[in-house]
Amino acid sequence: MTAGLIALCGVPCFILSFTDSFRDKNGNVRYGFATMCGLRSIDGSAAIPHELAAKYRLRSIDVMHAFMSTLVFSAVVVFDQNVLDCFYPTLSDETIKLLEALPVGIGVICGVLFVVFPTRHHGIGFPLSAY
């Protein structure tokens, strides 16, 4: 049950990495999902010019960011003592050391990759992109 809840919370972490926001022709802020063809409006009410939508198209770096975001989420979840008690009622000393170092290692590696390979998608709730 706990694993299902963690997976259920991890799915939005992955999917929301493909969201972005833009201004329509009236200046209103609209939200959309990045696809291979470009940005698609979530509510479908705003038509995005093809040239603008193409700038928001999905790239392989976006998939990598989504995977790493989910990995960081999983590392934070595993670090929680209640989750540890659920999955591992009795821990050996080696496992405790591993579970203490693993979230830090994942955080550092993913953090460096986030900085070295930035994404153009900022997600819902972040400032609008310059383009």
What's the pLDDT tens digit per position in 54-83? 788 888 899 999 999 999 999 889 888 888
> Which tens digits make up the pLDDT trace of 37-48?
888 888 777 677
Phi and psi at residue 129, to the nearest 5°: -70, 155
> Which tens digits make up the pLDDT trace of 104-114?
999 999 999 99
pTM: 0.81
Look at the chain and report how many structural domains it folds into. 1
Q: What is the pLDDT of residue 54?
A: 79
Range of the domain at 64: 2-116
Task: Compute the residue count for the chain.
Answer: 131
Looking at the domain assignment, is residue 121 inside a domain? Answer: no
Determine how many CB atoms are found less than 10 A away from the CB of residue 118.
10
- CA–CA separation, 35 and 92 (whole Å): 45
- Within 8 A by CB and 6+ apart from 22, the residues are 29, 30, 32, 39, 48, 52, 56, 128, 129
How much is the average pLDDT of 87-95?
85
Looking at the domain assignment, is residue 28 inside a domain? Answer: yes
- CA–CA separation, 121 and 53 (whole Å): 12
Looking at the domain assignment, is residue 21 inside a domain? Answer: yes
Looking at the domain assignment, is residue 127 inside a domain? Answer: no
Q: What is the pLDDT of residue 78?
A: 82
Mark out the alpha helices in the chain (DSSP H runs): 2-15, 50-55, 60-79, 81-87, 93-116
- CA–CA separation, 37 and 90 (whole Å): 50
Looking at the domain assignment, is residue 125 inside a domain? Answer: no
Cα end-to-end span (Å), the chain: 43
